[in-house]
Amino acid sequence: MQSMYTYSVAEELSFDWDKDNVEHLAAHAIAPDEVEQVFANEPLDIDFDVAGNEERWTSIGHTNLLRVLIVVWAMRNGSVRCITAFETSRARRTEYFGAKGF
């Protein structure tokens, strides 16, 4: 099965963390460093949308411990701003690892 994913670029990124987005991630049992790991491990972009005037991407990627996350994010003032993130389903995890060649 051919994947519809595209690779995102993640070199030298900075991240915009504050109390609100850190608490939102914690509600999904995800730490900011896990989101940063997803970007360092070359996530795959799976969706793009515009919310208001803001471009938002949805990416799938893995942490250093191979936890597969879906991350919705935007670029704000030159930094990645995580909107939300959550652990993916087992089926999507299998599809992701197949697309990545694991």
Which tokens hold the place of 1?
């099965």
Overall number of domains in the chain: 1
Residue 30 located in a structural domain: yes
Pick from 94, 33, 46, 45: nearest CA to 68: 94
Residue 5 located in a structural domain: no
Residue 2 located in a structural domain: no
Predicted confidence band of residue 63 (pLDDT cuts 50, 70, 90)? very high
| Residues contacting 69, CB < 8 A, separation 6+ | 30, 34, 35, 38, 60, 61, 62, 63, 85, 86, 87, 88
Residue 8 located in a structural domain: no
- The residue range of the domain holding 77 is 13-100
Residue 1 located in a structural domain: no
Q: What is the pLDDT of residues 12-50, one digit of tens each?
A: 789 999 999 999 999 999 999 999 999 999 999 999 999
Q: What is the pLDDT of residues 80-94, one digit of tens each?
A: 999 999 999 999 999
pTM of the shown model: 0.85
Residue 3 located in a structural domain: no
Alpha-carbon distance of 86 to 60, in angstroms, equals 10
